[in-house]
Amino acid sequence: MNVNVNENRIIKEFTDLVSIDSESFGERGIADEITAKLRELGFSVTEDNAGDFYGGNAGNIYGLLKGSADKQPILLSAHMDTVSPGCGKKAILRDDGTVTSSGATVLGADDIAGVVEILEGVRAVIESGEEHGDIEVLFPIGEEVYLKGTNRFDFGRIRSKLAYVFDMSGDVGAAAFRAPSLISFTLTVRGKAAHAGFAPENGINALAAASAAISRLDQGRIDEDTTFNVGTISGGTARNIVAEVCTVTGEVRSYSHERAEAQIELLKSEFERSAQIFGAEVFMDTTTEITAYRIAEDSDVIAKFKKACRDIGIEPRLTSTFGGSDNHNFVKNGISGAVISCGMYNVHSVREYTKVEELIKGSRLAARLILNQ
């Protein structure tokens, strides 16, 4: 099957798209551009109202290109938003084929690399004239803020049973078959204010109570599957007042959802113990941001990924990711999905970059995934 991608077109499209400001919930410009490109390719396109729910200016973009009923449909996805600093981005093509930002902003390869690879892969398939099944694409908003876009998406409209999310760092050819749960927490310890000089014995120091609890908890890598982190501690009103309130925030991640919940319970018990010792009160709020999943390594979605890689001359690699992606919500909604690398590096930093050769490989992979259904 003769399917060719266009290097110059890839470079231009990537350069053009990363120049559009698209920080989370400010994706209007990129959403309009992607919508126009999809319609040019023959997709029927709809935009939902997820952005309205969060006070943003755009919704999730869903497209469907009808194909042969004899072939299985496929869903390809990459998110539209970028992290901060992401306004005023400009792609700079270096002599060695790397693409960087100016150094003042992120590049936005996370996840415009994925967007471009999907668009070019679809174009290559259309231009080849090869038969394909239905192609579904989903370009969500708000992925960088705990998948908020796909949290509001109506998955009942998805026809595909298999999905590939182009949203992982590293060279093209890797697929993550498992990803963790992430539970965030906020603990509020309430003591009693008093003058620190004249009557400290009348106070209950919330900072001290929180610190005592934290000191009894291991942090960092708890076991090979689990991490725990206290990220912020704040409280008190003045240096001469016993701190009445202390707020502690952090997160737990684990490939085992049960282990993550157990760590949260341990955290709660230690803070309650401190509150009892000091005579304080403690209040705890938790949010399960993402829920762990594991895709069988012999599943159809992985088998087709491996074949597509080998068809374009890349040896496939299976790995794990300890981050979140929209694939969490795909799996949660009954779609067998894999998050795959799309040639982005040093993401979430002003040192972010991509490589032209990886954008080309990712585009070829997208095309082959479509044709191999």
Known catalytic residues are 81, 143
Q: Please answer whether residues 243 and 172 qualify as being in contact, where contact means their C-beta atoms are separated by less than 8 angstroms.
A: no
Residue type, 206: A
CA angle 347, 89, 47 (to 5 degrees): 85
Helix ranges restricted to H, the chain: 7-18, 28-40, 50-54, 109-128, 148-151, 206-215, 257-278, 300-311, 327-332, 356-371
Q: Tokens 């239905």: give the residue.
A: 134
Q: What is the DSSP code (8-state) at residue 136?
A: E
Q: Tokens 């999310």: give the residue.
A: 165
Q: Which tokens belong to 361?
A: 């490989």
Q: How many CB atoms lie within 10 A of CB 40?
A: 10
Q: How many CB atoms lie within 10 A of CB 243?
A: 25
CA dist 328 and 297 (Å) reads 17
Q: Which tokens belong to 199?
A: 């009557």
CA dist 39 and 55 (Å) reads 26
